Structure 1
Amino acid sequence: LCGGVNGRANPKELIFSGITIYTDKDFTRAKEYFEKACRLNDADGCAILREAYSKVILKGNARESIEKALEHTATAKACKSDDAEKCKDLAEFYFNANDLKNALEYYSKSCKLNNVEGCMLSATFYNDMIKGLKKDKKDLEYYSKACELNYGDGCAILGDIYHNGEGVTQNFKKAFKYYSKACELNNGEGCSKLGGDYFLGESVTQDLKKAFGYYSKACELNEALTCTLVGEFYRDGEGVTKDLKKAFEYSAKACELNDAKGCYALAAFYNEGKGVAKDEKQTTENLKRV
């Protein structure tokens, strides 16, 4: 096949030959073809070879090892046919083999094919995962694509980037825009940040009622700190009618979600007997959680 392993050959033909030979159960000869393909700088050949030299092969289970390699080759073929999920799987294969360059290449391709997870993972490579890799706003590009694909976390992160001026000119209006979309997509962090904008009057006119509304939605989405804040709104009667019972309930939820400030507020309610019957034991128990 292909003029023998030592003859001139296309790397892909070598891989095909290796697979064919393995089908005949001659693993030693098959490995020679994979080695040749790898020496010709073929990424798939190297990946198959790397799998062949895995711990599995050292344990003597060559069949299981090569079957994994063949599965990888099938995944690579599907990716070349623009299967976004398979491109992401291929990226994970390279990432687990510590081949970050190829991992990024395939995560990026999966993102271009509208795989949200591929977009988010591509962005992480530009956040110091690979030393010396210049950002060049690439992380912004990938988070933007994730947001366009209606992934709330991507929109919330974009909001943070513009709010904090991370690699871009600080822009509260753009931050507000992305936080708004994140919240619409039921992202708790996005709703929390919107609540903060209205509470502080950043990029929008200060509005405690709207702040309360967004904090409430964030709490429904289990953002712990916002449950504490909603409890404070009810306790102090800010933006809403004062209601100590509801203040207690929101503080209790915050504490359940492991917010220390919420547990402290809950202990105070039990200690003072406001919104709930006075209870020294509960006061002590909740203070332990602070």
Structure 2
Amino acid sequence: MKIHNIIFLALTTVFIFGNLGCAHNTAHEHTITDYKQECDRLMSKSCNKLGDIYFKGVDAERNLNLAKKYHEKACDLSNSDSCNTLGEWYLFPQPYHIDGLKHDPAKAKELFEIGCKNMNGKSCANLGRIYSEGLWTEKDVDTGDMYLGKACDLYKDGYACEKRAHMFSSGLNRPVDKDMARKYERAAVKNYKAACDKDDGAECGQLGYFYLYKKNYEEAYSYAKRACILNDKYGCNLAGLIDKIEHYDYSRAISYYDKACSLYYEYACADLGYMYENGKGIQKDKRKAKAYYKLACDMVKEGWNPSHCEKVEELTDQGY
């Protein structure tokens, strides 16, 4: 798997799914039973937490259908985080084995609008991206900019600030303004850091990718490691990538990729398969390669990324 493809896929997924299953440390450790009892009492935050738990499979066996059930209940109870999560799933449903989930941009936009009206910065940012890039709707840069501005200025969403910085620096809907671009870049970093300091692993990971774009590998690696500790699969993948291409520490890279794979990031599993198949920095082991390719194949819907499954068939034909 080529490095630039890994970066592109990771960045694309991180920026649209940055908030899925965020990990937060709390003083009192709730059990699954606690959350279920609270959800039954119509406490939307507990329903949302159950959705995250079953999606990530960290504190319970992964069950995407249960994740959807609890996020739907939380959204019905006006939990904007769950409404946003469901919107992202309807926008990009292909990787998931979830009953009744299909590509429905209109439904996604409706859910984002609910989230944005309830002061969810990520929902406003998602609306901004949909309009400014013309994703399954008529391109409307001004409306997109309005939503991004709202997400950044009012709700302190780091990605929205970063997106606005890009718009000012590239002159997408106005004359190029480097000073405003720098202003919004500073706001992006400030907001990412504020969320990361509250143990939001996804935001730590996004800050890592921000620094990766800037080729500041030291900062990127620092935030990627922190994100990984907080069980953010994209952060684990980024830490592994930097260890591989910058530090040439393949043993440590494998450790990070392995955690990303255990957190259901199929590209990390596939990359491990590639490394073992070709002996990239480690001893060649095609049986291990096949096992990792199979993990990647099993994580996604049939046809979503057939190359993972094709590699399993290829190694099986070779006798492994």
Q: TM-score, normalised by structure 2?
A: 0.45
Greater relative CO, 1 or 2 (CA 8 Å, sep 6+):
2
* Structure exhibiting the larger radius of gyration computed from Cα positions: 1
Q: TM-score, normalised by structure 1?
A: 0.49
